[in-house]
Structures are given as structure tokens and as C-alpha cells.
Amino acid sequence: MKRFAVKGDIIYTKTPAEFSMAADSYILCEDGICRGVVPSLKGAWKDADVLDYSGKLIMPGFVDLHAHAPQYAYRGMGMDLQLLEWLNTYTFPEEAKYADTAYASRMYASFVDELVVGPTTRAVLFGTIHTDSDLLLAGLLEKTGIKVFLGKVNMNRNSSQALTETTEESLSETERFIKGLDGFTNVHPAITPRFVPSCTPELMTGLGKLAEKYSLPIQSHLDENKSEIQWVRELHPECASYTDVYRRYGLLNAHTVMAHCVHLTPDEEKLMKDSGAFIAHCPQSNVNLCSGVAPVVHYIEQHMNMGLGTDIAGGASLNMFRAASDAIRVSKLRYYFTQQDRPLTVSEAFYLATKGGGAFFGKTGSFEDGYELDAIVVDDTGFSRLENLNPAQRAERVLYLSDYRNIKEKFVRGRRIYEES
């Protein structure tokens, strides 16, 4: 049994409603699991090893619930387009290049390099349809120590020729991808139908069965953009809604994460809630592609499962600090223009970025007893010399200033996976 304590100014959220903070305190860690936050070490912990980060902030690791690894290479481009046009102009031509593993190797390396130095300790990622390149990416990610659900993407209709699989190869390649991750510790497969317009009912049904057979999580996109929703309606007159398509073809359950959910109808909201599926709110992407703003405060009030995603490259930034402050910003404009709900608070955004999304991985994203110890150590002394700030005020600045050069160390399940060089 390996025990140690992490000392510093501790900040986390048990609930969206408020921060839990403990200045100059200790997180107890036993075999990678948090055993409480205490002001001093006593009893069995009296002589435990201490990792002393006095004066620095200790936060839970951040969880990126939705990002596309192959889109990192062209982030910040074509941001004048809306979803469907952007996919055809930038995304599909670029993703087609990942048939070439040499190309994928170069591009994925830079994606992984940034992921390592940022605040993300867990991520749910899309690859492309190309199994070999996806396995290559998995290999790069495995070495980082970051915990990842990674998907080989499935597409068998309405895509460019280069990105259209047959149903059979899409399913068999998915199975090859799943088996290729046998023995991986950090990277595990996720079933990844791109979105309804890209997958026939037959493919979706087959993927649902694979998810069941191998007990795998599922990720896709839902209700991002009004034209997309209209298209799905035309494609699936047999279904009551976009969400209902996923339900009907066996892809909606408590281990599903759906990116966006900007425009859920009340019926769809009920389907999502009843299934226990997660929402990956991607604020920057929804603005860049002019998709709208999800009613996040409403979803919180409905106790829906939800976290945040950067959605590289609908979002131009892989920085989860920024995703959290962007979530606040877009909620303010939604409130300003619609007078519905209220803006997201800082603790709510922090919760979504940590414990909210962390729940997709189990007990992670908090320092409560029984949670896996994923943590980042942040040196915020460079922000200014203002005195007497509490950890919550300092955490707000970390989200708003979004500079991850301040991240000094990063832990996953009690293991240090990154240390600033």
C-alpha cells in the first residue's frame, strides 16, 4: 500500500454550487485514491511522505469530454463557416490524409505534445476512420499517462469518397481497433459513430452491439446545428427526434457521451436524462461555428450528466482552462440576449470541467474520499502580487487567464505524469 500526501492550496468542487477549498492543507493519497483533505497529518498519516507545493494551487485534473485529434493540425481555420460547410471544406479533406500513417504520425505528435503540457488528465477523443493511424495515436497517448477513451471513427454514408467505408469494413475495422488496444493501460476504445448523417441504421445497430459485446463507452454528436438537425429529420422519418435515432439503434445509454446538445427539445432532454447519457458542452466550438449556446444552467438544474469539451477544431483551443471560462462567457451572452436562465457561475464551470466530466471515467475530478487522485499543480504567483486571495479567487483567475505555462506538475491516479522541465 503506497501512501503519500500532497500539500498546497487545495481547490475543488463537490457540487456545482460552490467551491471546496483548503489553504495550506493536505490531500491524502493511498494507492492512487484520495482519502480526504486535512489541515495537518495525524495518526496513521503522521509520517507519510509529503509532496510539498506550499503556496501553489492544487486542482483536480481537467477532463476534456470531446475533441478530435486529427483536427488539431488545422485549428483556427475556416472559422467563418458553419458546421456542414466547415466539415466539407476543411475537416473531411484533412481527415482523409490520415490514411497515410506517416502523415498521421507527424500530426498526432504535435497534438499529444500540447495535451501533455495542458491541464487535461482525462480525455474522450475522436480519431479518423483509419484504424492504423488510430492505433498509432493510441500508442502516443498511452505513453503520456493521460487516461483516454479513443474512437476509430465510423462513416458509411454522406461523406467524401475517401472517408466512406462499407458497413462490413467499418464494423470489422472497429473490432480490429478494439483488439489492437488489448493490454493498454491508459487508452481504451470508445465506439464512435461520427454522427447520424454519416452512419446508416445498419452500421449504428452493429456498433451498438459491439459496444455491448466489449462493454465499451460510446461517443457521438447530437443537436449541434439547426441545418444538421433538419437533415437528420429528413434522413429518419421513422424516429421522433435526433436523440431518438441514437436510442432506437442502440447507442444511447449511461456510458454514452454526446457532444453539443445545443438544441435538445424537451422530449430529447428526457431521453438523455432517462438514459443517463453525458452531454459534452463545447462552448467555443458552438460560437465559432455559429451553432448557438446550450442551456447549460438549465441542464445543471435538471441534474443531467455533463462535462466540457474543447472540440478541437470547432474550438480553436485545446486549453481546458479556457473551455471553462468560455462556458461562462457564452452563458452570459445567452442570458443577455434571451433573458432565460442565468449565467453560469465560476464554481459551476469548474465543476463541469473536473467532476462533471470526470464522472464519465468513474470517480475522478474531485478530491473527495474514494476519488482517483488526478491533480494539477498550478503556480499562479506570476499573475500579480495581489495579496490575501483565497483559493477560489485564484482558481477563477486560472480559468480566465488560461495560461498553462503555470502548470508545474500533473498527476493521474496518484502517479506524476508531467513535470515542467
Which parts of this chain interact with a second copy (CB under 8 A)? 72-77, 79-80, 106-107, 110, 284, 287-288, 290-293, 316-317, 325, 328-330, 332-338, 343, 345-346, 383-386, 389, 393, 396-397, 399-401
The smaller minimum CB distance to a second copy, of residues 110 and 230, is found at: 110
The sheet carrying 120-126 orders its strands as 187-189, 147-151, 120-126, 62-68, 306-308, 278-281, 256-260, 218-222
The smaller minimum CB distance to a second copy, of residues 1 and 386, is found at: 386
* Alpha carbons 353 and 347: distance in angstroms, whole number: 10
* Alpha carbons 74 and 5: distance in angstroms, whole number: 41
355 exposed, middle or buried (CB, 10 Å; 0-12, 13-18, 19+)? buried
- Least distance from C-beta 317 to a second copy, angstroms? 7
- Least distance from C-beta 385 to a second copy, angstroms? 6
344: CB partners within 8 A, 6+ apart:
296, 297, 327, 328, 331, 332
- Least distance from C-beta 243 to a second copy, angstroms? 22
The smaller minimum CB distance to a second copy, of residues 147 and 334, is found at: 334
* Alpha carbons 198 and 153: distance in angstroms, whole number: 10
- Least distance from C-beta 150 to a second copy, angstroms? 20
The smaller minimum CB distance to a second copy, of residues 173 and 348, is found at: 348
The smaller minimum CB distance to a second copy, of residues 33 and 84, is found at: 84
Cell numbers 464494423 label which residue?
Answer: 171
Beta bridge partners of 334: none
- Least distance from C-beta 337 to a second copy, angstroms? 4
The smaller minimum CB distance to a second copy, of residues 57 and 178, is found at: 57
Per 3-state DSSP, what percentage of the chain is helix, strand, and coil (rounded to 5)?
A: 45, 25, 30
Measured between alpha carbons, how far apart are the two ends of the chain, in Å? Answer: 29
The smaller minimum CB distance to a second copy, of residues 140 and 191, is found at: 140
The smaller minimum CB distance to a second copy, of residues 303 and 385, is found at: 385
282: CB partners within 8 A, 6+ apart:
66, 259, 260, 308, 309, 310, 311, 314, 315, 323
* Alpha carbons 264 and 268: distance in angstroms, whole number: 5
- Least distance from C-beta 288 to a second copy, angstroms? 7
- Integer CA distances (angstroms), 124 to 48, 192, 202, 358, in order: 34, 10, 25, 11
- Least distance from C-beta 74 to a second copy, angstroms? 6
The smaller minimum CB distance to a second copy, of residues 34 and 112, is found at: 112
- Least distance from C-beta 411 to a second copy, angstroms? 25
The beta strand positions in 98-206, using DSSP E, are 120-126, 147-151, 153-154, 187-189, 192-193
* Alpha carbons 229 and 145: distance in angstroms, whole number: 37
- Least distance from C-beta 402 to a second copy, angstroms? 8
- Least distance from C-beta 223 to a second copy, angstroms? 15
5 exposed, middle or buried (CB, 10 Å; 0-12, 13-18, 19+)? buried
* Alpha carbons 276 and 270: distance in angstroms, whole number: 10
The smaller minimum CB distance to a second copy, of residues 166 and 227, is found at: 227
Judge whether 229 and 190 are in contact, CB under 8 Å: no
Taking only Cα atoms into account, the Rg of the chain, rounded to an integer number of angstroms, comes to: 21
